Amino acid sequence: MAGEGAVLSMGPHTLPVPTALFALNRQRLADALKKTAPDSVVLLQGGEEVSFYDTDTTYNVFRQESYFMWAFGVTEAGCFGAVDVKTGESYLFIPRLPEEYAVWMGPLPKTNDYAKKYDIKKVFYVDELEVELGRLQRAKILTLKGVNSDSGLTAKPATFEGIEKFSVDDEALFPVIASLRVCKTELEIRVIKYVVAVSSYAHRQVMKQIRPGNYEYQGESQFLNACYEKGGCRHVSYTCICGSGPNGAILHYGHAGAPNDSPIKNGDMCLFDMGANYFGYAADITCSFPANGKFTADQKLIYEAVLRATLAVHSAAKPGVSWVDMHVLANRVVLEDLKKGGLLKGSVDEMLEAGLSAVFQPHGLGHLLGLDVHDVGGYLPGQPQRPQQVGVNKLRTARVLEKGMVLTVEPGCYFIDPLLDKALADPALKKFLVPEAIERFRNFGGVRIEDDVLITEHGVEDLTKVPRTVQDIEGWMDGRLDESQFRDPERLFVF
């Protein structure tokens, strides 16, 4: 296979990523399209650097468009890639940069530089696209256009000067390539295991170091440093969520309006949701723990309810099982424990039917994970569509599990004032609530436990290596538990 000799890495202490990973994805794509579009060429457009408003500064560090990364592994901006479906041959097109680029940005990249780095024999400049595609004389150019079911945004079809001279189909490619991204190859799984191991290590360091009196952003800083310094992960896969106390009930805390800037108080629960990114592949881990290293009775009640839900899904999930059923299972476990803890009363079956679970966990159980933190393929044609019932209608996928899927398992329990107030005013929900107990948990925040798991032939392989039980969290934070408990068994990441 082309690409077996070339690798991408961030140094000898980091995982080498073989370009064969991307060559295999291109071959899988060509093979899949031979059934429906044999006389065609796939054209993907990579990402462009985006200016910071009207300035000459760009947003952060460039990160490649995910479909293009999946197929070509190219980390530079301004590129195109083509795959001839009939022959399986790959083509890469790179920007032809002006001479002064070398003064400010470094040596001008040449086509042979890219050919060697990415092990793609046919590399041309972007201004040669029309000529080179014309030489192939294929009936159709397939470009990427389709709606991402997580964001609601549409993938941007490739375009270049002269494309109007070709017959273009922007509908056939999307369902095929998105479907191929759902189940990971062994080469992809190896990279995902690495980035999850790095992220697990970074979470452990944050738990070890964070204490009352710190600010939330100091936890974020510690995580970013550990991922980059030890694992070569220059990017994270999403904005870090570092919520303490009541901020733990803000599901996507850390955004511009709530930027991880609160002081962490003694007695607070911390909910830290962070994941590194390595050559495009994402991790997504949440750890919830007491800031002072010792659980109160109420913190232990909520934490162990969520942990029991997590472990129930780990035990039950396997190929052929519905993700909707796993979500309901997790919700049932949490509601049962809240009832035992005196916060709820009545029939758990009736609570589920009434949608009470969405008051305490308004999000889905988890999501597909890969080159996007919320990876594609959740609601493709021919797959189960989004459920409409309250309590399951926020799921990012309703698919039946398959071997090779990587997902997050992330049940949670939160005390969110607007949801609690609405439930207490709704006769259909109020009858299950014990108001005085609910009031005790106002300003508690929330607990989420998020593991990254691989669906294997027999069940779940948990890739996440962080303290999870109350005993282990307290032991880790006070020094009774050490790193030997969390060694990566495959030695993909050695810290």
**Residue pair 29/203 in contact by the 8 Å Cβ criterion:** no
How many CB atoms neighbour CB 211 within 10 A? 13
489: confidence class by pLDDT, cuts 50, 70, 90: confident
Closest to 304 measured CA to CA, from 292, 313, 295, 291: 295
494: confidence class by pLDDT, cuts 50, 70, 90: confident
- Give me the chain's average pLDDT, please: 96
4: confidence class by pLDDT, cuts 50, 70, 90: low
> What pLDDT is attached to residue 135?
97
- Whole-angstrom Cα distance, residue 291 to residue 384? 41
- Whole-angstrom Cα distance, residue 374 to residue 362? 17
CB within 8 Å of 404: residues ≥ 6 apart: 183, 184, 185, 189, 454, 455
Residues of the chain with pLDDT > 90, as a percent, come to 97
> What pLDDT is attached to residue 487?
84
279: confidence class by pLDDT, cuts 50, 70, 90: very high
495: confidence class by pLDDT, cuts 50, 70, 90: confident
Long-range contacts of 262-267 (CB under 8 A, 24+ apart): 262/215, 262/216, 263/213, 263/214, 263/215, 263/216, 264/210, 264/211, 264/212, 264/213, 264/214, 264/215, 264/216, 264/219, 264/291, 265/212, 265/291, 266/212, 266/291, 266/292, 267/212, 267/291, 267/292, 267/296
Q: What is the pLDDT of residues 405-428, one digit of tens each?
A: 999 999 999 999 999 999 999 999
> What pLDDT is attached to residue 313?
98
Higher per-residue confidence, 60 vs 291: 291
> What pLDDT is attached to residue 488?
81
> What pLDDT is attached to residue 320?
98
How many CB atoms neighbour CB 446 within 10 A? 25
Q: Would you give the end-to-end CA distance of the chain in angstroms?
A: 32
473: confidence class by pLDDT, cuts 50, 70, 90: very high
> What pLDDT is attached to residue 3?
40
2: confidence class by pLDDT, cuts 50, 70, 90: very low
- Residues pairing with 82 in the sheet: 43, 91
- Give 27: exposed, middle or buried? Use CB within 10 Å, 0-12, 13-18, 19+: middle
Tokens 């997902």 identify what position? 407
Structure tokens at 210: 């964070």
Q: What is the pLDDT of residues 448-458, one digit of tens each?
A: 999 999 999 99
- Whole-angstrom Cα distance, residue 361 to residue 330? 10
Long-range contacts of 299-303 (CB under 8 A, 24+ apart): 299/269, 299/447, 300/470, 301/337, 301/341, 302/341, 302/413, 302/441, 302/444, 302/446, 302/447, 303/269, 303/447, 303/449, 303/470
Q: What is the pLDDT of residues 17-68, one digit of tens each?
A: 999 999 999 999 999 999 999 999 999 999 999 999 999 999 889 999 999 9
As a whole number, mean pLDDT of residues 213-235 equals 98
How many CB atoms neighbour CB 113 within 10 A? 13
- Whole-angstrom Cα distance, residue 218 to residue 227? 14
Q: How many Å separate Cα 374 from the centre of its chain?
A: 5
Q: What is the pLDDT of residues 109-166, one digit of tens each?
A: 899 999 999 999 999 999 999 999 999 999 999 999 999 999 999 999 999 999 999 9
CB within 8 Å of 281: residues ≥ 6 apart: 188, 191, 192, 195, 370, 371
As a whole number, mean pLDDT of residues 281-307 equals 98
1: confidence class by pLDDT, cuts 50, 70, 90: very low
